[in-house]
């Protein structure tokens, strides 16, 4: 490979089976994308998750990337979409605590339920973005493994593993 390959050269190399070329690509953009994602989420941890997610999504669609256009704009667009989607999901999570409760529920139950919801939301915030997303899709959106797998473009077994790990991490977070 040439000394300082262009993005298009790297993309073409990845398409031809050169995985190491993708590592060069990731190294080239990770810091820039991290800074870019931080503008949306203001949390280093979440921004890192967004960048990872974006870079992996970019890899999944690399065969469809038009190398005659600027590759980086496509990558930034993916990152922006991921960040917006994370922001949206965080907003949805907050709104869950304002669910209307049945009128016959007493104050004690209401307080306890709110406390539980708070703990759950906090724990979800601390989860890696991908785990939190899988959990939300499974439990809140009530999607099946297959539907989540389609939505996130990941194998069903990976979804199953993520869900299992997410539950473990969540359980730990909630208990502690």
Residues in contact with another protein by CB under 8 A are: 16-20, 22-23, 26-27, 30, 34, 48, 51-52, 55-56, 59-60, 155, 158
Identity of the residue, 10 or 120, whose beta carbon is nearer to another protein in the bound complex: 10
Question: Please, what is the minimum distance in Å from the beta carbon of residue 162 to another protein?
Answer: 11
Task: Estimate the share of the chain in helix, then strand, then coil, as percent rounded to the nearest 5.
Answer: 80, 0, 20
Q: Which helix (H) or strand (E) holds 176?
A: none
Question: Please, what is the minimum distance in Å from the beta carbon of residue 19 to another protein?
Answer: 4
> Could you give the C-alpha distances from 57 to 63, 81, 85, 153, in angstroms and in order?
12, 11, 14, 9
Question: Please, what is the minimum distance in Å from the beta carbon of residue 20 to another protein?
Answer: 6
Q: CA torsion sign, 34 to 40 to 46 to 52? A: negative
How many CA atoms lie less than 13 Å away from 26 in the CB half-sphere? 16
Identity of the residue, 144 or 161, whose beta carbon is nearer to another protein in the bound complex: 161
Identity of the residue, 51 or 170, whose beta carbon is nearer to another protein in the bound complex: 51
Question: Please, what is the minimum distance in Å from the beta carbon of residue 93 to another protein?
Answer: 23
Question: Please, what is the minimum distance in Å from the beta carbon of residue 17 to another protein?
Answer: 4
Q: The tokens 């869950």 sit on which residue? A: 96
Cβ burial, residue 5 (10 Å; 0-12/13-18/19+) = middle
> Could you give the C-alpha distances from 56 to 143, 153, 154, in angstroms and in order?
22, 10, 11
Identity of the residue, 116 or 150, whose beta carbon is nearer to another protein in the bound complex: 150
Identity of the residue, 120 or 149, whose beta carbon is nearer to another protein in the bound complex: 149
């Amino acid at each position: 490979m040439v000394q300082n390959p262009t993005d298009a050269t790297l993309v073409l190399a990845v398409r031809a089976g050169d995985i190491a070329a993708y590592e060069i690509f990731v190294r080239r953009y990770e810091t820039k994308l991290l800074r870019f994602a931080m503008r949306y989420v203001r949390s280093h941890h979440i921004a890192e998750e967004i960048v990872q997610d974006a870079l992996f999504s970019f890899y999944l669609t690399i065969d469809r990337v038009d190398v005659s256009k600027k590759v980086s704009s496509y990558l930034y667009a993916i990152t922006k979409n991921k960040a917006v989607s994370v922001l949206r999901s965080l907003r949805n999570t907050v709104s869950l605590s304002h669910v209307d409760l049945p009128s016959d529920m007493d104050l004690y139950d209401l307080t306890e339920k709110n406390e539980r919801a708070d703990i759950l939301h906090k724990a979800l915030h601390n989860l890696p973005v991908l785990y939190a997303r899988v959990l939300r899709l499974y439990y809140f959106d009530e999607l099946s493994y297959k539907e989540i797998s389609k939505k996130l473009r990941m194998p069903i077994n990976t979804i199953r593993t993520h869900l299992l790990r997410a539950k473990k991490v969540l359980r730990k977070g909630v208990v502690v």
